[in-house]
A and B are shown apart, each in its own frame.
Chain A
């Protein structure tokens, strides 16, 4: 069982039709992500990075090819089963946090727990615990508007882990945060991997992310350009920074 990668994509393509023309957002991407791996998907905007990310996260279906999650082919699942997978197996973290503005931090986390079938009171208890794990025990009753960006992203991470998923998908989690806060969020995600064995998949163009990653995947023009282990990447970080900052 453990040999089966947690996510496997087989020749997935995503084609958008604009009039008569076919536009490939992704072209024949095959990739394996192992359990308890921290994977960063890098690529400029328009590279197909987000499209790939959405496929892997069971949020969108490929036009061709298959996505397997823990051995299940996602296209074989019904909408209700897909909702179950999103609820129990995946935690999502977004660039713009996507908290519900009318709900308190506690309620934002609790609603995810309610979707897994818990009663509202059980859900609140578990939500408080999850918020404790991200260091926000003293902010339970604050609405998102009263929290800083970093705190909002922590609430989002608490929401992502409250159902104890095996995967966290983070789309540009540091994109709206300053350097220091971004590093804290990366550290937090990295801790989730180390302490809880969660597989972390992030889409990013933030080079800070690289140091926490086990594997870095570069996507370019809808294809996997390169896959590298962390040990190989470290050497290159300087050159990436150097070239972008120069």
Chain B
């Protein structure tokens, strides 16, 4: 006897046309990604470590550079001695030098490769999960959304921590070397500008690193979920 309480919600043979699947809003995708990040905390931490280190390094370099440049411009004897003690080339040091830029660029590139790598690994680990979601009716765009949000979130959180760490270390070392002069001739605008640059670069890296793995993840076929690998 068929239970009357159960009605197949939309019987295919009663439809004139099969509808398109519902598109899941970003807010729901966000809560799924957030849950997954939280429960794979250590995994996310490793991915984030790459961003944190790269952005901390960039911020540190830019902030210390801002401070020494401001102090060089003061051109005061006692301060110049301190600068020389700190190995700053008073004459040549006008702006960031090329070698440093190369070093920063390389570290950022390494970080980019690192995030892509660990996101790809996380996707590989979860191929069956992606296949299962597709069996449950997830569209490729939904998979794209959750993986994009996941790596972007790691990037943004990593960037914020990196900014803080880089700033604190860079500023701390400057205060240690040049004492009160740092406060006296504090290049507030330049430092804020440097923090802004670091934040933008961090965000860019996160987004670029998120796209490839998310694309790859969303292209997986549901039939992959059925394969038993034991």
Tell me, in angstroms, the Cα distance from A98 to B131 when the chains sit together. 9
Report whether B9 and A81 are in contact in the complex, using a CB–CB cutoff of 8 Å. no
Report whether B137 and A112 are in contact in the complex, using a CB–CB cutoff of 8 Å. yes
Report whether B22 and A71 are in contact in the complex, using a CB–CB cutoff of 8 Å. no
Q: Does B98 contact A (CB under 8 A)?
A: no
Contacts of B129 in A (CB 8 A): 98, 100
Q: Does A171 contact B (CB under 8 A)?
A: yes
Report whether A59 and B11 are in contact in the complex, using a CB–CB cutoff of 8 Å. no
Q: Given A1-B13, A59-B223, are A80 and B20 also a contact pair (CB < 8 Å)?
A: yes
Q: Does A243 contact B (CB under 8 A)?
A: no
Q: Given A80-B20, A197-B2, are A89 and B136 also a contact pair (CB < 8 Å)?
A: no
Residues of B in contact with A, size category = 35 or more
Report whether B21 and A164 are in contact in the complex, using a CB–CB cutoff of 8 Å. no
Contacts of B9 in A (CB 8 A): 88, 116, 163-164
Report whether A103 and B35 are in contact in the complex, using a CB–CB cutoff of 8 Å. yes
Chain B positions within 8 Å of A, measured between CB atoms, are 1-3, 6-14, 18-22, 24, 28, 31-32, 35-36, 39-40, 128-129, 131-140, 142, 221-223, 225-226, 228, 230
Instruction: A196-B6, A197-B6 are known; give 13 further A-B pairs, CB within 8 A.
Output: A4-B13, A60-B221, A80-B20, A84-B22, A86-B135, A86-B222, A89-B10, A89-B12, A92-B135, A164-B9, A166-B8, A166-B12, A197-B3
> A residues 72-109 with Cβ under 8 Å of B?
72, 77-81, 83-89, 92, 94-96, 98, 100, 102-103, 107
Tell me, in angstroms, the Cα distance from A107 to B39 when the chains sit together. 13
> A residues 152-198 with Cβ under 8 Å of B?
159, 163-166, 171-172, 194-198
Contacts of A103 in B (CB 8 A): 35
- Count residues of chain A with CB under 8 A from any CB of chain B: 53
Contacts of A81 in B (CB 8 A): 18-21
Tell me, in angstroms, the Cα distance from A172 to B223 when the chains sit together. 15
Tell me, in angstroms, the Cα distance from A89 to B138 when the chains sit together. 14
Chain A positions within 8 Å of B, measured between CB atoms, are 1, 4, 36, 50, 53-54, 57, 59-60, 69-72, 77-81, 83-89, 92, 94-96, 98, 100, 102-103, 107, 111-112, 114-117, 120, 159, 163-166, 171-172, 194-198
Q: Given A80-B20, A80-B21, are A165 and B134 also a contact pair (CB < 8 Å)?
A: no
Contacts of B28 in A (CB 8 A): 114, 120
Report whether B140 and A115 are in contact in the complex, using a CB–CB cutoff of 8 Å. no
Contact of A98 among B32, B40, B128 (CB under 8 A): B128
Among residues of A, the one whose C-beta sits closest to the C-beta of B129 is A100
Give the shortest distance, in Å, between B218 (CB) and chain A (any CB).
11
Contacts of A95 in B (CB 8 A): 228
Among residues of B, the one whose C-beta sits closest to the C-beta of A2 is B13
Tell me, in angstroms, the Cα distance from A198 to B8 when the chains sit together. 9
Give the shortest distance, in Å, between B40 (CB) and chain A (any CB).
6
Tell me, in angstroms, the Cα distance from A96 to B131 when the chains sit together. 13
Write 11 A-B pairs (CB below 8 A) sorted by A numbering: A57-B135, A59-B225, A84-B21, A88-B10, A100-B133, A112-B136, A115-B24, A115-B133, A159-B136, A195-B6, A197-B3
Among residues of A, the one whose C-beta sits closest to the C-beta of B10 is A88
Tell me, in angstroms, the Cα distance from A87 to B142 when the chains sit together. 14
Report whether A83 and B21 are in contact in the complex, using a CB–CB cutoff of 8 Å. yes
Report whether A96 and B138 are in contact in the complex, using a CB–CB cutoff of 8 Å. no
Tell me, in angstroms, the Cα distance from A96 to B135 when the chains sit together. 14
Contacts of A111 in B (CB 8 A): 32, 133, 136
Give the shortest distance, in Å, between B136 (CB) and chain A (any CB).
4
